[in-house]
Structure formats: structure tokens, C-alpha cells
Amino acid sequence: MTLRIQQPRHPLAVTALAALGLLLGIVLVALASSATPVGHAAAGVVPTPAHVVVVMEENHSYADVIGSPSAPYLNSLAQQGALFTSSFAVQHPSQPNYLELFSGSNQGVNNDTCPQTFSTPNLAGDLIAAGYTFGGYSEALPSQGSLVCNHKGINGSGQYVRRHAPWTNFTNVPASVGMPFSAFPTKFGNLPTVSFVIPALMDDMHNGTVQQGDTWLQNHLDAYAQWAKSHNSLLIVTWDEDDNSQSNQIPTIVVGQGVTPGLYGERINHYSVLRTIEAMYGLPGAGSAAGLAPILDIWS
């Protein structure tokens, strides 16, 4: 059925109809300008999760993982949360990137030499000072608080390396925050406020394959990822650096309660992720993270 509107002939009626049309146009423009694209939350306030778990994978570019048939779990995880399509590591090699994500600076380190020692501000120290808790869970770490530079794991291939556990380098962080991954709680409500999970070299895609890393992540952290969606918690999966093929572009995925699934194209790096976690708990920005705004557009 076609609705026909008869044009009024009285001058006042014509004027009133024109005014009504103008008002309607203004309203429609206002609504269009305030609309939020599908899959993206309007910019808002960073939440305060009960728990955040950060997993650091190794040496693979965005294109190595996203869309790869070797990483079915990670691609499924990306569909469940926020996938950043312009996420970048800061530099090469590995150790500086871990330090940058943890303390907002490479602390003058541009290599993988162990040990290193610092006393500057960092995520763990600032969390603890503010009354929160931090834990670093490293697969194949021989014992809680161990400061060894490396440790041969079950298959004897040099599984644990201290250069991937930046909290071990800071004198203002208790050594006890460093724990073997075997201590990761099965009751996730017992997790520290913020945790870092560091798979061993065979399981973080460094020595092993993308598929091995993908399977390890699914087997060991999917239960937490699903739990986080209904328990005010987050899982962040990122990479230290790429494989020198994509200008250091890496995948970064955030899954959990309050995250609007979708693709997010703003350029971020390790400092952006650190600043966002700091903002969640009202912490000052450490190092180069201090001058950045936190990520705001993924929260529903």
C-alpha cells in the first residue's frame, strides 16, 4: 500500500509542514551522528575487572596467526572478543618488548642478555603499592621465586627463560610473585588481580609451531576465557614481536565480560596495553605509557 500525503493549500499549513520537515531532518541527522557502528562500543570509561590474565606469545606476525588454519582456537577467540588489526610490538628482539609491556620502558636493554636488574616503576610494583595483587606464571619455572636465567623443562629443550619473565628483574617486586604455571589456580576467583602467563619455549610459538601454541592455549586457558565472560574478568593474548615480516605487526586479542566483539583498527602497541591495565586500577602510567590514553572503544 502506498501512503499519499495531500499537499495543503493554505500558506500557514505549508509553512508549518516545512518547519516540521526541517525539525525532522535535524533529529535524523543528530541520530545518525550519534550512532555507534555495529560491533563497537561507544567510547567510555575503562572498567575495573576482578581479574586480568595476560598471555604473551612469541615471534609471529598478525598474518601468521589471524586467518591461519594452524590457529583455529586463536581465530575462534578473536571472534569472541576484540581483535586489534593495527597492533604493533615496539622493537626487536624479545626481552625489550616484555620490559616495555611490564614497565613502559626497555630499561636501556636492547638484547636478550640475562640477568638484568632495575628498580624503576612497573605494573607489579604499582599494583601491590595500591593494594592489589600480581602474579607471574611461567611454564617450566623450577620453583616459586626462582631467578635462574633458564631451566630445562620436561623434554630438556631449555623450556623456561628469564628474559620472558620481566618481574624477575625488578628489585621493587617480591620474588615470590614469580610462580610455576602449575600453580595457576583451577578456581579462577583465587587468581591475583593481574596475572601474566608465560608458556615455555615449545608452547609459545618460539621453538614450537603456531599449531602447538594454539593447542596449548586452548587446553590451558580456554576454561578461564569462558569463565571470564561472566565473572567481570579479562583475557588478553598478545605477542612479543613479529617474525620480521610485517613491520612488527602482531595480533592482540581481548576477551571477557564487558568487551564488545569486533575488529578495532586504531593503532596500539605494548605501551597502550600497559596503560589500559594501569587505568583499570587507577595506577599512574609507568615510563612511556604515562602519556597515553587507555583503550576505550572496546567496552560495552
Give 72-116 pLDDT, tens digit per residue: 999 999 999 999 999 999 999 999 999 999 999 999 999 999 999
Is the N-terminal amide bond of 174 cis, ω within 30° of 0? no
Cell of 90: 615496539
Give the pLDDT of residue 157. Answer: 57
Report the alpha-carbon distance of residue 32 to residue 27 in Å, rounded: 9
Q: Distances from the Cα of 41 to the Cαs of 3, 81, 270, 296, 300, in angstroms?
A: 37, 12, 22, 8, 5
**Confidence grade of residue 129 (pLDDT, cut at 50, 70, 90):** very high
- How many Å separate Cα 101 from the centre of its chain? 10
In percent, how much of the chain has pLDDT > 90? 82
Which letter, b or e, does each residue of 255-292 get, where b requires 16 or more Cβ atoms within 10 Å of its Cβ? bbbbbbbbebeeebbbbbbbbbbbbbbebebbbbbeeb
> What pLDDT, in 10s, does the model give residues 209-257?
999 999 999 999 999 999 999 999 999 999 999 999 889 999 999 999 9
Buried-exposed string 134-165: b where 16+ CB fall within 10 A, e elsewhere: bbbbbbbbeeeebeeeebebeeeeebbbbbbb
What is the C-alpha to C-alpha distance for residues 69 and 49, in angstroms, rounded to an integer?
32
Which CATH superfamily is 51-289 part of? Alkaline Phosphatase, subunit A (3.40.720.10)
Three cell numbers written together for 43? 567510547
pLDDT greater than 90 at residue 25: no
pTM passes above 0.75 = yes
**Contact (CB, 8 A) for 201 and 157:** yes
Determine the pLDDT at residue 33.
Answer: 29
Cα–Cα distance, 238 to 218 (Å, whole number): 15
Question: Does pLDDT of 40 surpass 70?
Answer: no
Q: So what's the pLDDT on residue 155?
A: 62
